[in-house]
Amino acid sequence: MDLREKIKKVLVRELDLVDIDPATIEDDAPLFGDEGLGLDSLDAVELVVLVQKFFDTEIQNAEEGMEALQSVESLARFIENEG
């Protein structure tokens, strides 16, 4: 399974995004805000934990998180570079 596809499936399943099909999530779509998936700050905290749990990669600080958690694409690049 492609890393981006796995990220999308983890997002939908673990964040309970019940109305979203992982296949419809665009790689460059924002994860947060009204234009993207609409995740909020609580989702960000959970997402940091999920990245460590499913991808064995740790987001060390807020600056690193802000860069990594912009989109599926940015998260995949982060995981690829850290893994």
Where does the pLDDT of residue 83 fall: very low under 50, low under 70, confident under 90, or very high at 90 and above? Answer: low
DSSP state string for the chain? --HHHHHHHHHHHHTT-TT--GGG--TTSBSBSTTTT-B-HHHHHHHHHHHHHHH-----SHHHHHHHTTBHHHHHHHHHHH-
Claim: this prediction has a pTM higher than 0.85: yes
Q: Report residue 78 CA to chain centroid gap.
A: 10
Q: What average pLDDT does this structure show over 39-54?
A: 95
The tens digit of pLDDT for each residue in 26-36 reads: 999 999 988 88
Q: DSSP state, 24?
A: G
Least confident interval from 23-27, 53-57, 68-72, 79-83 = 79-83
The tens digit of pLDDT for each residue in 4-18 reads: 999 999 999 999 998
